[in-house]
Amino acid sequence: MKQALPFLLFACAYASSAWSQCAPGIPGAGNPGCIPPTAPNSPYSQGSDSGASGIQSVGPQPVWEETWGAFAMDDVTGEAGTVENRQSRSEAERLAVETCARGGGVKCEVIFAFHNQCAALTQKINGGGLNWDTGESTGVAEQRALSACRGTCQVIYSKCTVPRRVY
């Protein structure tokens, strides 16, 4: 047993150094985590060629295009026209009036326009005044429009227009 003790001590010491060796091609001296030299946090990193100190570019920021929606209505006939996701307010309003007229409206006028959000329109169940509002979701817009209504109302329009990523 006494003769085996030195052998066991030698084997344990050798095994611990074998476990701490890095993979081939990755320097181990001063690199306890065996981080590859090409990694920016490696002790052997030479930095980037552009001179940036470890900051990597994530590319250009996205470019967003606003979009518009509109609601037009003829008060006499009750005909309505709606559009969403148009490039400008004027385009959305023009198309909403055209849609209303195509449906039979004679004197269609824009009731409201909205952009990059949701809108809802409510009306009293027995007819009467309109209420509209906007919000970050159709649910929020509907709740706001219903809250503005004095009496029993119903949602007659609820849509969203969201920004479009162009780059």
pLDDT tens-digit map of 126-148: 877 889 999 999 999 999 999 98
**pTM of the entire predicted model:** 0.61
| Residue 151 resides in a domain | yes
Q: Is 98 among the domain residues?
A: yes
- What pLDDT does 126 receive? 81
Give how far Cα 154 sits from Cα of 31, 102, 150, Å: 69, 25, 11
Tell me whether residue 115 is in a domain.
yes
Q: State the pLDDT at residue 87.
A: 94
In this prediction, residue 143 carries a pLDDT of: 95
Mean per-residue pLDDT, 43-56:
58
Q: And the tokens for 133?
A: 């509002």
Q: Catalogue the E-assigned strands of 75-152.
A: 80-86, 108-115, 117-124, 130-135
Contacts of 144 (CB under 8 A, 6+ apart): 120, 133, 134, 135
Output the six-digit token pair for 119: 């809108």
Per the prediction, the chain carries an average pLDDT of 82
The pLDDT assigned to 59 comes to 78
- Asked if residue 111 belongs to a domain, the reply is yes
Is residue 40 included in any domain, yes or no? Answer: no
- pLDDT score of 22: 72
Q: How many structural domains compose the chain? A: 1
Vertex 70: Cα angle to 64 and 76 (nearest 5): 175
* Within a domain: 122: yes
pLDDT of residue 8: 53
Residue 118 lies in a domain: yes
Range of the domain at 157: 64-165
- Judged against a pLDDT cut of 90, whether residue 34 lies above it is answered with no
